[in-house]
Structure 1
Amino acid sequence: MAVIVWFRRDLRVHDHAALYHAVETGEEILPVFVLDVRQEKDGQSGRKSQALFSALRSLQGNLADLGARLVIKRGEPAEVLAELAKHFGADKLFFNREYAPKAISRDEQVAAELQRNGIFTQTFKDMVLHEEGELLNKQGKPYVVFTPYKRAWLTLPKDKPFPMPKKLRAATGLESYPSDLIPALGGQGSAKEQVREEELYGERAARRRLGQFLDTQLAGYKLQRDLPAVDGTSRLSFALRTGTLSIRTVYHSVLERMHQMSGPQSEAAETFVSELIWRDFYQQVLFHFPHTVEQAFLADYEQVEWDDNEELFRKWCTGQTGYPMVDAGMRQLNQTGWIHNRVRMITASFLVKDLLIDWRKGMNYFAEQLIDHDEAANCGGWQWCASTGTDAQPYFRIFNPVSQGEKFDPDGTYVKQYVPELAHVPAKYVHKPWTMPELLQKESACMIGLDYPPPCVDHAISRLIAIERFSQAKKLGNK
C-alpha cells in the first residue's frame, strides 16, 4: 500500500508534517502536486506564477534527491487524487491544513470523494503555530483584538520542527507514471534561468535567507524594519506563503537566537515574533469570519460611502499620485511583485483615506501583483488600514504620506530608487516636491506637472472627508 502526500502551500522536504507522518507509517510514498490551470495564465499574475513554479521545481529536485518523483497533474484535486489512489493502490491521503474559505471547501470535497472510495484521509497542522481552535477567550469565542490574542498565544507550547526523512520509499511504478511538466519561465525559460529562479524562490534559497536574517538583520529588526531603503526585514514572506520554509523552523530558529541576546537585541527578536503572531491571528480571523474576504469585519463600515473614481485608482495603481512615498511603493510592487511592509500600510491608507476608494479594490490589486500573496494576511492588513477590520481606529489610523516618508525615508533613498524623476531633488523636498521653488525644479530636472505629477488630492482635505464618512457610516449602523 502507499500513502499519497498532497503538496500545496508546503513546497519543501524539511520540517513537513504530512510527509513526516506518511514516512512514519512505513508504507510507500506517492508525492503529488495538483496544478491549477489558472496558475498558468499570463498577465498581471505571471510573475507570481513563475515564482511558484520555481519553488515547485525546487521541491521536485529535493524529492528526487530523497528517492521519490513528484507527480504533477492538472485538473480538479478530488478527481486527480482519486485516480492516482486507484492506479497506485494507495489507501491513505495525507496533507496539511489550510484555512481560507475556498481552500476549506476544496479540501472537504477531496476528503469526501476519497473516503467514498475507501481511502483514509488525514490532515495535519503545518501552516501556523496555533490553529483557530487552540486559542479561544473565556467565553469560548475567537479573539478579535490582537493584544489579548498575543498574550494567550505566548503562553502556549509550540510544536517542534519535524525531522527531514533521510530516504523515501517511492510508490511502485512511480518512475514510469506520466506526469505533467512544470511550465517553463515565460514559456521558454532556459535551464540556466530556471536554476537561477530556484536559487531565488526554492527551499534552499528560503533556508539560506533565514540564516542570513538571523545573522545580520534580526538584532536590528525593531529599529530597521520600518526603513524601506534598508534591508531590515526578514524577506521570508514568499517562503512562508509557499511553504518552502516552515513557520516552526522560523520560530524556533529565532527563539534559539533570542536566548543568546539581551537588551535591545532581545527586544528586536520579540518584535519579529510578534509579526509571526500577527500571521497566526489573521489566519484564525479568516477561518472564523470567512465573510471578511468580501465584507467589512465591522458591519457598520459596510455603510461607508466610497468614491468610484477610476482615474484616481489608475494613478494609484501606476504610481502617479504625486505623493512620492505612495508612488515608490506602487512602482516597487509593479516591478518586483513585493512591497515593503511599512509602505504597504502607507499605500493602502492612501487609497482608502485619501482617495476614498473601496479597500476591496486595493486588496484585489495586491492579490494580483504580490508574489507573497496570502489571503488572510492581505485581507487582514487591508481591513486594518481601512479601519473596517478587527481593532478598527478610523479617526487615528490615517497615514500622512508626506510625514511617513520624512520619518521612514528621510533622505529619499527609497523614493529615488523607484521614482527616478526625483533623483536630483534635495532631501528637503523629496517627499513634497510640489513645494519646490520653480527655479529649484528646473535645477533638479523635475518640473511639477511635466516631469512628475502634482498631488492628485489634498491630504488635509481628504482626511477630514474620510473622518466624516466613517462617522456617518457608524451613525447609520447604530440606527
Structure 2
Amino acid sequence: MKEKINIMWFRRDLRIADNHAFFRSLSSKYSVLPIFIFDSQILNDLDDDDARLGFILGEVNKLKKEFEENNSTFWIYHGKPLNAFKRLLVEFDIDTIYANRDYEPYALERDQRIAEFLAEEKVKLETLKDQLIFDQNDILKKDGKPYTVFTPYSRRWLEKFQNLKLENYPSKELLVNLFKSPPLKTYHLRDLGFRPGNYPIPKNKISRTIIEEYEEKRDFPGIDATSRLGIHLRFGAISIRKLTKQASKYSSIFLNELIWRNFYMDILWHFPHVEKESFKKEYDRIPWINSEKDFQKWCDGNTGYPLVDAGMRQLNQTGFMHNRVRMVTASFLCKHLLIDWRWGEAYFAEKLLDYELASNNGGWQWAAGSGCDAAPYFRIFNPTLQAQKFDPEFKYIKKWIPEFGTDKYPKPIVEHKFARERAIKTYKIALER
C-alpha cells in the first residue's frame, strides 16, 4: 500500500523561512515531500549559459542540503510538470499539493492544466499568496474594477497595508514533518544541458543603510546604492514580507518601489494581453522603423550616447542595469530610434538577472508611452542631459566605456532634436488616426 503524503511544489519561492505554502503543507496532517521541477518548456527558451539557471540550481541545492539534514530529500525533476505529477502519483498516494501562486500567463495556464488533471485523480492543488503583499482582487476601486493608474493604487495599497498584520510563516520550525527519505540525485547544470553563466550574483542581504539612503542616492548610477535584491525577489529566495517590513520602517521611497512591483503584477493579472500587446491598444498602430542595424548598435552599447551605451554594456557584462539608466535606454530605443518596445523588452528579458515579466513589461510600456500609467508620448528623455544630471563626473560612463572621450568612441547615431521631433510627429499621426 502506498504511503499517503502531501507535496510542497517549490517554484518562485526558493527559501525555507517565512514560506506561506510550505508552512501550510507542514502544518497539515500528512508528511510533506518537497519537489522542484525544471520545466523543460521554460528551459528550452534559455541560452545554454543563462546565469539565472545557475542561481536557481544553487538555491535548489541549498534547500536539498537542508532537507537532507532533516532526514528528508528534495525530489527534483527535469521535464514537463504534468509528467512529473503522473510519475509521483504512481509512487505515492497524494492528498494535497501545495504551491505559492504565480501570476504570469504561462504559469496560470500550466497550473490550470495540472489542477484539472489532479482533480480527475482526486488530488487537490492548493495555491497561496506569497510573493506579493496584495494579489488578485485585494486592491480594487470602489466600483470593483482594477486600478490602472499608479498613484491612486498606491494610496489604496498603503491604506490597506496600515491595517494589515503581516504574518510570518515559521516553516523552518516544522521541518520535522518532512517525508522521511534517503538522499536523491543532485542535479548539475550539465544534466540540464547548460553550462554556468559568468555573471556575479549579488548577495541575499537586506541592507538597512541602503534602504535608509535609497531616496538620496538611488538616481546616481555611479554610486553603488541599490539593493540588488531583484533576482532574490524574482525567485523567492527572500521574503517579500520581511523586505516590506524593513522598507516601511526606514524608507517610504523604497517601499514605493515595492508597491510599483505589486502594481505591475496586478496589471498583468487583470490585463494579460499586455504580455504581447500595448495596454493602450491604439499604440499598436505606431509605424516603428525597426532598423536591425540601429537595434544592434543599441544592444552593443555603440549608439554614441554615453549614458545609453554605459547602461547597455553594464547589462551585457553583468546582467544588471541601474534603474535610472533602464528608463533612459528604453526611452532612447522607442523614441529616438523608433524601434518597437517589444524588441527591447525581449532583449532585457534575455539579459537581466532580475528579469520579471510584469515589471519588465510595465517599465517598457511606460517608456514607450503605451502602458497603463505611462508618461505622455511627447515627454522624451534627453540622454545627454540625463548624463549631466545623474553622472556629472562621468564615473559610471567611464567605468563601462573605456574609450569615452577618445576618437574610438562613436558619434551619435541620431541627432537628439531631430529624433525627438520625428518621434512626436510619428506618435501624433498614429494616435490621431
Corresponding position of 1:20? 23
Counterparts of 1:143 and 1:474 in 2: how far apart (Å)? 23
Q: Equivalent of 1:465, from 410, 422, 430?
A: 422
Counterparts of 1:354 and 1:124 in 2: how far apart (Å)? 43
Counterparts of 1:28 and 1:104 in 2: how far apart (Å)? 27
Count of residue correspondences:
424
Question: How far did residue 164 of structure 1 move?
Answer: 3.2
1:246 correspondence with 2:239: yes
TM-score normalised by the chain length of structure 1: 0.84
Alpha-carbon deviations, 1:184-227, whole Å to 9, x = none? 599677xxx99x98xx46xxx41xx21xx21x212211010111
Corresponding position of 1:456? 413
Q: Identify the structure with the greater helix proportion.
A: 1
| Shift in CA distance, 401/392, structure 1 to aligned 2, threshold 3 Å | same
Corresponding position of 1:30? 33
Counterparts of 2:346 and 2:194 in 1: how far apart (Å)? 26
The code of the aligned residue for 1:288 comes to H
TM-score normalised by the chain length of structure 2: 0.93
Question: How far did residue 121 of structure 1 move?
Answer: 1.6
Question: How far did residue 4 of structure 1 move?
Answer: 0.6
1:356 correspondence with 2:338: yes
Counterparts of 2:186 and 2:68 in 1: how far apart (Å)? 16
Corresponding position of 1:474? 431
Q: Which moved more, 1:53-62 or 1:28-37?
A: 53-62
Corresponding position of 2:171? 164
| Shift in CA distance, 150/67, structure 1 to aligned 2, threshold 3 Å | farther
Question: How far did residue 390 of structure 1 move?
Answer: 0.9
1:182 correspondence with 2:139: no
Alpha-carbon deviations, 1:363-389, whole Å to 9, x = none? 000001111110000000100011000
| Shift in CA distance, 180/81, structure 1 to aligned 2, threshold 3 Å | farther
Question: How far did residue 421 of structure 1 move?
Answer: 0.7
Corresponding position of 1:113? 117
Contact 2:295 2:339 in 1 (8 A): yes
| Shift in CA distance, 470/232, structure 1 to aligned 2, threshold 3 Å | same
Question: How far did residue 158 of structure 1 move?
Answer: 5.1
Q: Equivalent of 2:320, from 338, 346, 357?
A: 338
Alpha-carbon deviations, 1:38-92, whole Å to 9, x = none? 5377737622222222222223233334443111101211221232133122211
| Shift in CA distance, 138/407, structure 1 to aligned 2, threshold 3 Å | same
Identity of matched residues, %: 39
Counterparts of 1:281 and 1:68 in 2: how far apart (Å)? 38
Counterparts of 1:187 and 1:44 in 2: how far apart (Å)? 5
| Shift in CA distance, 20/301, structure 1 to aligned 2, threshold 3 Å | same
How much is the aligned-residue C-alpha RMSD, in angstroms? 2.2
Counterparts of 1:179 and 1:141 in 2: how far apart (Å)? 48
Corresponding position of 1:221? 214
The code of the aligned residue for 1:227 comes to F
Alpha-carbon deviations, 1:306-330, whole Å to 9, x = none? 0020000000000000101000100
Contact 2:9 2:35 in 1 (8 A): yes
Contact 1:129 1:158 in 2 (8 A): no
| Secondary structure, aligned partner of 1:19 | helix
Unaligned 5+ segments in structure 2 are none
Counterparts of 1:12 and 1:397 in 2: how far apart (Å)? 42
Q: Equivalent of 1:123, from 116, 127, 135?
A: 127
Corresponding position of 1:5? 8
Contact 1:295 1:302 in 2 (8 A): yes
Counterparts of 2:49 and 2:99 in 1: how far apart (Å)? 26
Counterparts of 1:68 and 1:221 in 2: how far apart (Å)? 41
1:328 correspondence with 2:310: yes
Counterparts of 1:305 and 1:395 in 2: how far apart (Å)? 14
Contact 1:298 1:389 in 2 (8 A): yes
Corresponding position of 1:102? 106
| Shift in CA distance, 246/66, structure 1 to aligned 2, threshold 3 Å | farther
